[in-house]
Structures are given as structure tokens and as C-alpha cells.
Structure 1
Amino acid sequence: MKNSSASSHRTRDIDYRAGYLRPEHCAPPPPRAGSGGMWFIRDGCGITCGVITWMLVLYAQFVVAFVMLLPARNLLYSLVNGALFNSLAVLALASHARAMCTDPGAVPKGNATKEFIESLQLKPGQVVYKCPKCCSIKPDRAHHCSVCKRCIKKMDHHCPWVNNCVGENNQKYFVLFTMYIALISLHALLLVAFHFLLCYESDWTKCSNFSPPATVIFLILLCFEGLLFLLFTSVMFGTQVHSICSDETGIEQLKKEERRWAKRSRWMSLKVVFGHPFSISWLSPFATPDHGKADAYQYIV
């Protein structure tokens, strides 16, 4: 480090390279609709994965409604299962939309200026980290995302299926998304199993408005989709809950980073993500979590 690092306002470049604060060396931020606009990452792969996710859920709703539940052989059976499946599907899609369009905790870009560092009133010996890629002061537990082109607070990972990072502000919605997708996948598999039995007993003539070959194809595709996403989202849900309870993000676990923060209890860690206090709103993607007295936004490490 240069002699300036020995001054009262010491800084540290995470790549130990000089000249990183020059604007021409900084990656541009993701396109935004304005300072108060909706957060949305314009990444081709992520947008494609997001559209595929919605199409697969809508396909499952179509098969459940028009292949298996209509015409209704048992009105109560069709009403209950139709209401349950569609309610879970709406919650899953709402969770996906909130996870995709919520700022995951992006650090203000380009704030690593001399004036701002001086305004922090650092004590002698204190160090701030700067990100050479987005020219921002990097808080503890923040990591730079090459897709979002920003440092994200408590970044767990970047998920193309929600076209966003999973971070401090949207982890609740990502957890709910994986949970509701797993639930509708399980429900779809159960409905497919019952419908196969019904069609077998009726010799495939009165179990659907579609022809027997078309019905078989619809059911097989839905069964394959349900199995695939049940396994995938169940694993993701489990890893996310474990990460929250252990108060350690996926990147921190992968890199085996040294813990420099006070470890919370499992219950407190859950409340930090889902809100204070515990309530039914934990299960709602429409409710923004109230983090209560959150920790101060610290740049100093």
C-alpha cells in the first residue's frame, strides 16, 4: 500500500491495484427506470429464465384446470383442488415477481469519494474497503455481482430464474418462491396420480375433454415438470433456510470467509429476513418485512 494508507483515513482496495477509482475503469450500473424506478436487471439469460418460469407455472395451471378438473366429475373435489392449486400458483408468481423486481441491497455506486470517506469520521486505524469494479465503498458482508454490476449487501447468490441477486432485501421473496413452487409441484404430482387412476378405471374415455393420446402427453409432461421442480426447489428452500438460520450466506459458506460479525440466534436470523415480529405476513409475498431496529449500515470493518 502507498504511504497514504497510513493516514487517519485509511482505505484498502480489495484488489490492491492503484488507479481503480478512475471513472473510465468502472463498469456501468444496470439500466434503471430512474432513481425511484423499479429494480430490473436487463440480462438476456435471466429474462429468458424468468419468462420460462412463468410459462411453466401457467402450463401447470392449464393442465390442472382443463385436463384434470374439468369437466368436474366431483364438484367438491374440483373446487377444492382448483382453489388450492391456483392460490399457491398466484403466491408463487407473486413471490417470483417481488424477488425479481426488488432491490436486493445494492450499495450506492460511485460513493468512494474523498469527501464521503471524510464524512464517515473514521478513527485512526480503521479501514474501509473499496470495490474497484463499481467504485463504491464496500460494506462488510457485501460482494460484487458481475451480472448486476453492483455490490450487494449480504449477497447469497445470483439466481437467473429470478433474474436478480438474492440479498439482504429480497431473500424473503426468494424463499417463498421456492417454497410455493415446491408445494404446487407436489400438489400437481398428487393430482396426476389420482387422474391416472381415474382414467385407467374409465378406460381413458370419460376422464378428460381431450383425446386419450393428448391427455397422456399432458399428464406425462406435467409429471416430469413437477418432479424436476419439486426436487430443485426443495433443495433450494432447504439450503436457504439453513443459510438464514446459520447467519451465513451461500458465498460466505463457499469461500469459508472468516466471521467478523456477531452471530445471531436462529430465531433472530429468521426475523431479520421475514420481519419483526412473527406473523402470518411471513408467508405473504405482498407484505414487505419490517426489520425493526436493523443494524446500522456499516462501512467500517
Structure 2
Amino acid sequence: MVLVNEQRKLSASLPLICRCIISCILVLLTQLTLSLVPRFFAASPFIVQFALSGLVLLLVQTLCGWCRRLLGVCASAPAFVFFNILFIWGFYIAVVRQAVSSLIGGLFNIEVAMIIIGLCSIMSKDPGLITNEFPHLDKLVEGSELGVDPDNENSLLRKRVRYCKICKAHVEGFDHHCPAFGNCIGQNNYFLFIVLLVGFLATEASYVACSVQFVGKSQNFDKSQSENDWVVNLATSTMLFSILQLLWQAVFFMWHIYCVCFNVRTDEWVSPQVKQILEY
């Protein structure tokens, strides 16, 4: 009986392991492809390299998506985020840290460690799942925008209860389902989500500063060799990657600050029935 249970656990974990392996391969492919931009466009202005990096990143992600659908395989978005963090952190420890001070290096290491802890926490934390808090929960209309039954609308609307089709559960204070974290963002983990966004912004800004120092020192030391050095190319590409992440996450963060200030949720802005319910 114990052997059968172990086999079942192994069978259940194999798909997750495969998805993590695919995500790891995609991270390596993405980062190595991005390193070709500074390799072949080293003489181009920074803004040109930045634009090309964004275009290459978009093309790689699109091609990878087509290949996954063609082969019938799936990746894991949280694993993709996690392996990108590990790649940047590993490259920093192996290469970039030699160009920065111990104080800045220690701060960056702490930031990355806190990001990893935050990721593990938000992926496992209950976002505000509701099971039997409301007596008529089983009557909720799963296809409705707010997931509320008209007869029980007022009490549920105050709680902002919505049905998540991905998690297949009702969530209190539902904001959105975050594929990058593999969990809903709701009443119980919304603050952690905001803190994690701040952590990502701070960590990426720190890495950009560190990589700029490394690239600058390397080019000043021997410009003729640094332009053909794959290490410097990878440092430049990871810096460009971090800037791209920093920009869209800054916009995303400002959006959520706006939502907090005006007491709205992301899902409410994309729900056509919200205005009707508020007017009611």
C-alpha cells in the first residue's frame, strides 16, 4: 500500500517536473538569445540595443509559445520567473559582483533572497478562498463577471467575491489571477503582492546599477577585447532584460497604487457588469 501511494505521488509530480524543466530551458534560451544583441550590435547606441532587446524578447516568447503548442507541452510561469531570478543571481555571483562594493553586493543578495521568500509565500498563501461563509454560495453564477447571484448580490459585492475559473474557487477581494505567481490575488495576499512588486523593482534597479558598473569597468580596462567578450555581452543583455522588466513592472505598480487610492480592483475595470451593479 505504501509503495502504491509513493508511485501515485511520483506520477502526480512528473508533469510538474517536466514543466519546470521546460521553463528552465526557455530561460536559458531567452537569456542566451538576448546576449546576441550586444554581441552583434555593440557599436549601436544604447537605445537601439534596448529596442532590439525588446523585439528579440517578444519574438523568442512568441516562437516558444508556438513550439509548445505544436509539441503539446506546457511550461510553468512561476518556474519561468523563478529560474530567471536564479539566472540573474547566479551570473551576478559568478561575474558581476567583482565590480561592485561589498555593501552594494550584500544589499543585492538580501533583495534577491527576500524576493525568493516572497515568491514562495505568495504562491502558497491563501488569497481569500471562500467555502461556506455565505449560505447561498452554491448559487453563485460562475459565468458572471463578479461571480454573484442576483438574490445575494449585496452581501457578496461588499466582499468583492468572484469565481476564478483557473483556481476553480471563489475568492474574497478578488483582484486578478496572476499567472506569474500561479495564484489568485485577493483579500489575504494583496498586500504581499504589492510588497513583492516593490521588491522586484528594487532588485532589478540594483542589478542594473551593478551591471552598469561591471560593463563600464570592463570596457575601460580593455575596450578591444570587451566588445567581443561573451561575459560582457551577457552582462549587457541581462542589464537590458532587467530594464525591460523594470519599465513594465513600474507601470504595473503605479496602476495598483491608483487602484488602492480609489478602492477599485483590477478585475472590476475589465468587467462590463460593474457599472450596472454599482448603479443598482
Q: In which range does the TM-score fall when normalised by the shorter chain? A: 0.5 to 0.7
- Distance verdict in 2 for CA 1:259–1:185, change over 3 Å: farther
- Work out the CA distance in 2 between the residues paired with 1:199 and 1:96: 33
Deviation, structure 1 residue 58 = 1.2
Q: 1:285 is matched with which residue?
A: none
- State the secondary structure of the residue aligned to 1:158: strand
Residue 151 of structure 1: SS of its match in structure 2? strand
Q: Deviations over 1:72-109 (max 9, x none)?
A: x6xxx431121111111112122222211111111106
Q: How many residues are aligned here?
A: 199
Please tell me the root mean square deviation across aligned C-alpha atoms, in Å. 3.5
Q: Distance in 2 between matches of 1:243 and 1:259?
A: 20
Q: Is 1:223 the counterpart of 2:246 in the alignment?
A: no
Deviations 1:243-284 (A, max 9, x none): 1121111112232624989xxxxxxxxxxxxxxxxxxxxxxx
- The 5 Å alignment of 1:246-285 reads 246-255=262-271, 257-258=274-275
Q: Do the aligned partners of residues 101 and 246 (structure 1) sit closer, same or farther apart at CA in structure 2, a change above 3 Å counting?
A: same
Corresponding position of 2:194 = 175
Distance 2:138 2:250 in 1: 36
Q: 1:162 to 1:251 in 2, by over 3 A?
A: same
Aligned partner (choices 112, 129, 151) of residue 106 of structure 1: 129
What is the identity, as a one-letter code, of the residue corresponding to 2:139? K
Partner of residue 26, structure 2: none
Q: Structure 1: which 5+ runs fail to align? A: 1-40, 118-127, 262-300
After superposition, what is the alpha-carbon deviation per residue over 1:15-55, rounded to whole angstroms, capped at 9, x for unaligned? xxxxxxxxxxxxxxxxxxxxxxxxxx9xx799711111111
Aligned-partner Cα distance in 2 for 1:242–1:95:
23
Q: 2:185: which partner in 1?
A: 166
Is 1:93–2:116 an aligned residue pair? yes
Residue of structure 1 equivalent to 2:248: 232
2:88·2:238 contact (CA, 8 Å) conserved in 1? yes
Percent of aligned positions that are identical: 18
Structure 1 distance, partners of 2:263, 2:148, is: 25
| Secondary structure of 2:139's aligned partner | strand
TM-score by length of 2: 0.61
Q: Does 1:81 align with 2:90?
A: no
Q: Which deviations, in whole Å up to 9, do the C-alpha atoms of 1:185-237 show, x marking residues without a partner?
A: 11111112111110111106999xxx962312321331132012101221221
Contact kept, 8 Å, 2:218 with 2:232, in 1: the verdict is no
Larger radius of gyration: 1
State yes or no: 1:145 paired with 2:168.
no
Aligned to 1:58: 86
Bigger fraction of residues in helix: 2
Q: 1:133: how far off?
A: 3.8
Distance 2:201 2:220 in 1: 29
- Do the aligned partners of residues 56 and 213 (structure 1) sit closer, same or farther apart at CA in structure 2, a change above 3 Å counting? same
1:192 to 190, 197, 211: 211
TM-score by length of 1: 0.57
Distance across 2 between alignment mates of 1:158 and 1:236: 14
Unpaired runs of at least 5, structure 2: 1-15, 24-73
Between 91-100 and 165-174, the greater mean CA deviation after superposition: 91-100
Contact kept? 1:204, 1:212, Cα under 8 Å: no
Asked whether the equivalents of residues 158 and 165 of structure 1 are also in contact (C-alpha less than 8 Å), the reply is yes
Where 2:129 maps in the other structure, the secondary structure is: coil
Check whether the contact 1:103–1:170 (CA below 8 A) recurs between aligned residues.
yes
Q: 1:68 to 1:205 in 2, by over 3 A?
A: farther
